[in-house]
A and B are shown apart, each in its own frame.
Chain A
Amino acid sequence: MTAIYQALYEFISRFFSPSIITLVVTTLVYAAIPLVFILVYGLVAILGEMKISAWLQDRLGPMRTGPKGILQPIADILKLLQKEDTTPRAADRPLYRLAPWVAFIGSYAAFAALPFSVAYIGARLNTGIFYILSMGSLVVVSILLAGWGSDNKYSMIGAMRSVAQIISYEIPVALAVITVVVIAGSMDLQTITDLQAGGINNWFLLGGPKHLEGFGGSTNFVLVPVMLVAFAIYFIGSLAETNRVPFDVPEAESELVAGYHTEYSGMKFALFFLSEYASMFAVGSVASILFLGGWQSPLGDTMNGPAMGFLWFILKGLSFVFAQIWIRWTLPRFRVDQVMRICWKVLIPFGLTAVAAASVIAVAIQ
């Protein structure tokens, strides 16, 4: 149990006498921390998407709601709350209603295993990265439910594309993750982060820890090309995982109107939207944990610690979100068969090579 959990427990035990109720309430509050984070981050990310796209396109973006338009996401959410929540008559109602929640649960659940700081991790699992990858796949189930349940041909095509896409990108992403796991020797994200202590030089992107005995020390630089390849594969795969340009084929606007969420309005649409943004942060922060030291400061011991670590973690995650937004507003979209060709014929061979090379090097230098 972390210090934050202990403090929460002691605070809540003042109000509830039986310890079992205190335990339940504390756990619920503790679990709600990522939810609060997702909601706040969602507002920031929506505004960021609007403003960054505007700057890239020589526009100002929203300027009227609040100073420089910073209240625009709140106005948007209020609008979504007021909208009529429609269901197509021919929809498969249970599936149609379930889909947005499955999407959101999938994204939210992934946050449970993210180490935000040395002091906060929802659940420290010894298979953390494995858990996050499988929760990420849950989003695709929801897309399939939405596509099937909407009784709309556009939604159906979008859902089918999405399923084809998940089969293609999950393997290269997993291979990239395995490359790091082989070197780190652990699937626990907190352990992987701990290994990268001591500044930018020890990040897995630059070959991993050079200060630890048994990790090869200064000879770790031979890992740099392998890690760069793994990082590139993970980043490309993560774009596909979050259905962002250039892999946004499931919701390709110019072809499928809005893809799998064509029929959704109001809060159901907002949940899909929030889930997409939450996934963007989740994959970005996983990339930062695996390759860029997670909550570790790039300066070594300076500016490190539980609070600063939280800031570093958010900063690294948000820079990935920024990169995704930047790419979205720059590149055209791949065709669905091209996505699969890239995944199967380019990323998987490179991923297998990276895993093999990492394994050989790991054995050789230890």
Chain B
Amino acid sequence: MPEILERNIHSHSLLHASAPVHLPDRVEPKRLHTEEMVLNIGPQHPSTHGVLRLEVVLDGEVVVDVIPHIGYLHRCFEKHAENLTYPQVLPYVDRMDYIAAMSGEHGYVTAVERLLYIEVPEKVEYIRVLFAELQRIASHLIAIGTFGMDSGAFTPFLYCFRDRETILEMFEKTCGARFLYNYMWVGGLSHDLHPDVLPMCRDFLKKSRATHQEINDLLTFNHIFVERTAGIGVLDREVAINGGASGPMLRSCGVKWDIRKDDPYSIYDRFEWEVAIGSSDRGEPGDSFNRHWVRMQEWEQSLNIIEQILEQFPRQDATDVQSAIPKRLKPPEGEIYSRTETPRGELGYYIVSNGDVKPWRVKVRSPAFSNLSLLPLLSRGYLVADLIVILGSIDIVLGEVDR
């Protein structure tokens, strides 16, 4: 008897090879029994988006339970931060949410600036919001592309990367880095905006709107894609709020909650745009399709914000972007909780200062971690294929989950 068979039916005494069983002349056929199987998905698996391990209990192909095991990318961010000065923490912030490093930096510098009570020049704020919104598009492009890949469509992924490339080029021209920027400094920026960036942005607006339409035609409204994602992994509105979901995950349930609108920071109050929420046009609010759909709409809204930035941008302003950077960065004793809206949701920094050049404590409230914690709840009772789709729709970044 093959080993695997022996192991799978070990509890069946008649077939257990090691137990000497006296078989009667006529064996009454016992009912074949089934049992649950534990499938280990990850940490090395094409669809775990990094090093996440999912311990999945399966009944056939039906997911009975999912236990996410995290920590494979844990780098002790919070402990490191205690031993570094405020500006030195910034490169570590980049490496948390590495898909949207600009957004993470924006959150961190906003928190420290609030702790220090510094005002930054208007031009700096415009550049920051411009880059944060470009980064949001770049991050959503990855989310949309990989989500398509999780559902089996490979080509939209590369169309998304083509657009993302233009964004990274703008970042590269300005600060030299394509991925981990260390660009937004407390009180200013590391470099002034490169003169090519604004014309490039104008081109990008046109190109990106065309790509948006293309992705909609190819993926979002594809019948197979809608069949695969609509009504899969439905997140209840109450559960989403109580479970600490944020970002597209929360908005897809129909909750109009965006920190850029509801607790404005930087200069977000100067722009006209809509908070995208899930609808029941296709699927139902809170399902995988709507999480994708909210990202598609946010892509469009970010383009609208960028368009307004291009109109309002103080081109004549010759302020040095480093003029407001404090010479000696030593916040007064106190604490601050500051939150910003990153592509994945509410990124909060709780910083405690004891009046030293190093923070006493930096606690991060990471949106991907809270969103991932809802995965077991969402995927019970669905098939393995749905589990992968649900995981893809949550859009996690393991660097931020593990920190």
Which of A56, A249, A255 meets B47, CB within 8 Å?
Answer: A255
Residue of B nearest to A94 (CB): B2
Which of B47, B153, B386 meets A332, CB within 8 Å?
Answer: B153
Alpha-carbon distance between A57 and B4 when the two chains are bound, in angstroms = 42
B152 on interface, CB distance cutoff 8 Å: yes
**In the complex with contacts A58-B159, A254-B388, A332-B228, A337-B383 CB distance below 8 A:** yes
Main SS of chain B's interface residues? helix
Alpha-carbon distance between A320 and B208 when the two chains are bound, in angstroms = 34
A319 on interface, CB distance cutoff 8 Å: no
Residues from chain A with Cβ under 8 Å of B388 in the complex: 254-255
**In the complex with contacts A92-B2, A329-B154, A335-B386 CB distance below 8 A:** yes
Cβ contact within 8 Å between A57 and B386:
no
- In the complex, how many angstroms separate the beta carbon of B172 from the nearest chain A beta carbon? 20
Chain B, interface residues (CB within 8 Å), range: 20 to 34
Cβ contact within 8 Å between B383 and A335:
yes
B37 on interface, CB distance cutoff 8 Å: yes
Residues from chain B with Cβ under 8 Å of A248 in the complex: 152
B177 on interface, CB distance cutoff 8 Å: no
- In the complex, how many angstroms separate the beta carbon of A199 from the nearest chain B beta carbon? 36
A354 on interface, CB distance cutoff 8 Å: no
Alpha-carbon distance between A162 and B227 when the two chains are bound, in angstroms = 21
Residues from chain B with Cβ under 8 Å of A58 in the complex: 158-159, 162
Cβ contact within 8 Å between B383 and A333:
no
A90 on interface, CB distance cutoff 8 Å: yes
- Per-position contact with A for B39-72: 1 when CB-CB < 8 Å, else 0? 1000001110000000000000100000000000
- In the complex, how many angstroms separate the beta carbon of A354 from the nearest chain B beta carbon? 23
Residue of A nearest to B3 (CB): A90
- Per-position contact with A for B132-157: 1 when CB-CB < 8 Å, else 0? 00000000000000001111111100
**In the complex with contacts A248-B152, A257-B45, A257-B46, A335-B385 CB distance below 8 A:** yes
Residues from chain A with Cβ under 8 Å of B337 in the complex: none
Residue of A nearest to B385 (CB): A335
Alpha-carbon distance between A75 and B200 when the two chains are bound, in angstroms = 40
A336 on interface, CB distance cutoff 8 Å: yes
**In the complex with contacts A151-B4, A248-B152, A59-B158 CB distance below 8 A:** yes
Cβ contact within 8 Å between A332 and B225:
yes
Alpha-carbon distance between A338 and B159 when the two chains are bound, in angstroms = 27
- In the complex, how many angstroms separate the beta carbon of A92 from the nearest chain B beta carbon? 5
Residues from chain B with Cβ under 8 Å of A333 in the complex: 151-153, 224, 228, 385
A118 on interface, CB distance cutoff 8 Å: no
Residue of A nearest to B384 (CB): A255
Cβ contact within 8 Å between A252 and B385:
yes
Alpha-carbon distance between A333 and B384 when the two chains are bound, in angstroms = 13
**In the complex with contacts A248-B152, A254-B46, A254-B149, A151-B225 CB distance below 8 A:** no
A253 on interface, CB distance cutoff 8 Å: yes
Alpha-carbon distance between A249 and B386 when the two chains are bound, in angstroms = 12
Alpha-carbon distance between A157 and B387 when the two chains are bound, in angstroms = 15
Residues from chain A with Cβ under 8 Å of B152 in the complex: 245-246, 248, 252, 254, 331-333
Most buried by B among A256, A332, A338: A332
A153 on interface, CB distance cutoff 8 Å: yes
A101 on interface, CB distance cutoff 8 Å: no
- In the complex, how many angstroms separate the beta carbon of B375 from the nearest chain A beta carbon? 16
Chain B interface residues toward A at CB < 8 A: 2-4, 37, 39, 45-47, 61, 148-155, 158-159, 162, 218-219, 222, 224-225, 227-228, 383-386, 388, 392
27 pairs, CB–CB < 8 Å, chain A vs chain B:
A56-B155, A57-B154, A59-B158, A90-B4, A92-B3, A92-B4, A154-B39, A157-B61, A246-B152, A246-B224, A254-B47, A254-B150, A255-B384, A257-B46, A331-B153, A331-B222, A331-B224, A332-B152, A332-B219, A332-B225, A333-B224, A333-B385, A334-B224, A334-B227, A334-B228, A335-B383, A336-B61
Chain A interface residues toward B at CB < 8 A: 53, 56-59, 90, 92, 148, 151, 153-154, 157, 161, 245-246, 248-249, 252-257, 329-338
List the 9 shortest-distance A-B pairs measured between CB atoms, nearest first: A333-B152, A332-B153, A57-B158, A332-B152, A332-B151, A254-B47, A335-B385, A254-B150, A332-B225
